[in-house]
Amino acid sequence: MTDIHADRAIYSVSQLNAEVAELLSRGLGRVWVAGELSNLAQPRSGHWYFSLKDAEAQVRCAMFRNSNRLVRRPPAEGDQVLIRARVGLYAPRGDYQLVAEHMEPAGEGALRLAFEQLKAKLQAEGLFDEARKQAVPEAPARVAVVTSPTGAAIRDIQSVIARRSPLTQVTVLPVPVQGDAAAPAIATAIAHADMCGFDVLVVGRGGGSLEDLWPFNDEAVARAIAACKTPVVSAVGHEVDWSIADWVADQRAPTPSAAAELVTQDLFARVQHAQQALQRAAQSVVRARRLLAGQTASFVARLQAAHPGRQLEVRAQTLDDRTARLLRAAQYLQRRRQQSLQPLAARLGVQSPARQIAKQRTQLNNAREGLVRTANNQQKQLRAQLGTAAQTLHAYSPLATLERGYAIALDESGTAVRDADELQQGQTLDLRLGSGQAQVEVLSTAVPVDGGHR
């Protein structure tokens, strides 16, 4: 039987999308595109998804974390931006898109062109060559800083040097760091500092836009640095900012604080920094190898047909799509659970253990107060009974009799004498009185007649 499809090239949908993606990438390569940024999404993965549009059309774009971390200022809805991107296709949806590798404000295009032209000119003259650059001394005694006297850069530099090397002398050569007057002033200050015998010269300022940093892209400043016999450290902007001064200087520091650390660090700090860099590089290699080893066999054929990095980007975008859907589903489920819990919460409030506890506490307080009242009443009654018994006991006490004028005679053994026959003439007796006692001698005794009293 003849196969009716033998002369047809039949693609699966995934094969077709992969083929179209490869054609777009090879056919157009990298392009520069300007437009207004809209529909910006920044999921937790760190990747950016957005659209670029003008008055008549729009195109979807993705910018992955390893590229967008180099963007100096995070973009916002409505920004006019210029991006450098690869033209590609997001195969799972069949969407044509741009994969951005660089982004900058659209107004910086002319300055960027001037920057590239001057960079190419000075590079051709050899001003960037490593062979002409001087070594920065490890422990300079005198450091000159060409920067604004009121900016954050000089405060950071002075603070770091004072902490790391208190004996190092820091001299500030004040200059404006932006505006038309800045570049001539910076070039003049560099030339002046070079004649003053400093050990190292730091030139820089804090971060800003390309326009703000433009004095450090001036040709006069670059040539002043190149002509300087004193080692020059350039510290312009933040870590992602590169200026012409950075390329010409003997050493480039990513920030003013880093420049201060650079000119004061010792050999141990250099070794420590190199060790940390080596550890980071090793960890990066290990992560990359683990990621590569974790790819499943089902993707081998597609990885062979296309660049592995682009396949990873597609999977990252797919993961972000699924994460967003999962988050929406979780939020919906949470709202449903909260709605079902509201009646139970109301019932629980009516039968709250706190109310029962408050009621029992009130009853306990009432019982305690009643018990205290009963105990006080019983105590008063017992005290009254005790007082009455004490009065009765006192009435029958021998002491009461003594208080009425009587006395008790005690013999030598302390026994009370009750009968005169028990006494002898000359015997000594103790008399116990109502108040105190006395000692007496028996002179004579008398015996009662017929039971009467003597």
Query: What DSSP state is assigned to residue 138?
Result: S
Between 443 and 241, name the one with better pLDDT: 443
For a pLDDT cut of 70, what percent of the chain falls above it? 89
pLDDT on residue 187:
93
Q: Does residue 447 come out as left (phi exceeding 0), alpha (psi in the -120 to 50 range) or beta?
A: beta
Confidence of residue 4 (pLDDT cuts 50, 70, 90): low
What is the phi/psi pair of residue 71, to 5°?
Answer: -75, 125
| pLDDT of residue 267 exceeding 50 | no
HSE-CB of 348 using CA atoms within 13 angstroms? 5
Q: Does residue 236 come out as left (phi exceeding 0), alpha (psi in the -120 to 50 range) or beta?
A: beta
Tokens read off for 238: 């933040």
User: By three-state DSSP, how is residue 53 classified?
Assistant: strand
| pLDDT of residue 49 exceeding 90 | yes
pLDDT tens-digit map of 305-340: 556 667 777 788 888 888 888 888 888 888 888 888
Alpha carbon of residue 106 to chain centroid: 35
CATH superfamily, domain 125-264, is: Response regulator (3.40.50.2300)
pLDDT on residue 294:
65
- Rounded mean pLDDT, 338-345: 79
| pLDDT of residue 350 exceeding 70 | no
Long-range contacts of range 68-76, CB-CB < 8 Å, 24 or more positions apart? 68/100, 68/103, 70/102, 70/240, 71/103, 71/104, 71/240, 72/104, 72/207, 72/209, 72/238, 72/240, 72/241, 73/105, 73/209, 75/37, 75/40, 75/48, 75/50, 75/103, 76/37, 76/40
Who contacts 319 (Cβ-Cβ below 8 Å, separation ≥6)? 45
| pLDDT of residue 453 exceeding 90 | no
Between 170 and 360, name the one with better pLDDT: 170
Asked if 437 and 431 count as a contact pair (C-beta separation under 8 A), the reply is yes
pLDDT on residue 38:
92
For domain 13-108, give the CATH number: 2.40.50.140
pLDDT on residue 176:
93
| Domain boundaries along the sequence of the chain | 13-108, 125-264, 401-451
pLDDT tens-digit map of 90-100: 888 888 899 99
Region of poorest pLDDT, from 44-58, 288-302, 347-361: 288-302
How many C-beta atoms lie closer than 10 Å to residue 128's C-beta? 18
The mean predicted confidence, pLDDT, of the chain is 83
For the ranges 182-191, 337-346, 396-405, the maximum mean pLDDT occurs at 182-191
What does 166-227 look like in DSSP terms, one character per residue? TT-EEEEEE---SSTTHHHHHHHHHHHHHTTT-SEEEEEE----TTTTGGGG-HHHHHHHHH
Confidence of residue 365 (pLDDT cuts 50, 70, 90): confident
pTM of the predicted model over 0.75: no
